[in-house]
Amino acid sequence: MKHVFEQKVFYADTDAYGVVWHGAYLRWLEQGRVLWCEDRGYNLIELKNNDIVLPVVNMNVKYKASAKLDDIVVVETWIEKFNSLSVTFKQTVKSKESGKLFIEAEFDVVAINNDGKLYRKMPECLHKVFEEALKCPAHV
C-alpha cells in the first residue's frame, strides 16, 4: 500500500545554487510518512494522546540528482520491512515530468510512550496496519 503525493518546488525550497536544499527533501519525506499513517486512520496527534509516539531512529537518504525551482516532484511512501519492534518506510522522490529519481530513502521508526520509554512490541493497533501493508505490493 503506497501513498503518493505531488509537490511543487518553490523558491524557499532551493539553496544558493538554485537546486532543492537537502532539508526540503526531508520535510517532504516526513510529510509522506505522516500522510501514509493518516490514510490508514492514524493521526499522529491522536496517537500521542493515546501514549504512542513514532520517532525516526535511523535514516538512510541517497541523493541521486537535484530537483530545481518549479519542478513538480512525486513523493512515494510504502512499508519495506516490519518486525515487532520497528517499521521501515521506503520512500522515493521523482520528477513528475521525466520520472528521474532524485531521492531514495529508508526510515526506521519505533514506538515509544510520551515519557520516551520504548515499547518492546509495536502497539497492536499499529501492528495490524503494518502487517497488512506488507501483504500489498509496493507498486499498488
Q: Are 85 and 7 in contact (CB under 8 A)?
A: no
**Tens-digit pLDDT profile for residues 41-73:** 999 999 999 999 999 999 999 999 999 999 999
Averaged pLDDT for residues 3-24 = 96
- Cell numbers given for 117: 520509554
Length of the chain: 140
**4/38 Cα distance (integer angstroms):** 13
**51/135 Cα distance (integer angstroms):** 27
pLDDT above 90 covers a percentage of the chain that reads 91
Delineate the domains of the chain, giving CATH numbers in brackets. Answer: 3-135 (3.10.129.10)
- What does the pLDDT read at residue 19? 96
Q: Residue 46: what are its φ and ψ, rounded to 5°?
A: -65, -40
10: how many CB neighbours lie within 10 A of its CB? 11
- Cell numbers given for 66: 537535484
Find, among 57, 46, 59, the residue nearest to 118 by Cα: 57
- What does the pLDDT read at residue 137? 66
**Tens-digit pLDDT profile for residues 85-139:** 999 999 999 999 999 999 999 999 999 999 999 999 999 999 999 999 988 766 5
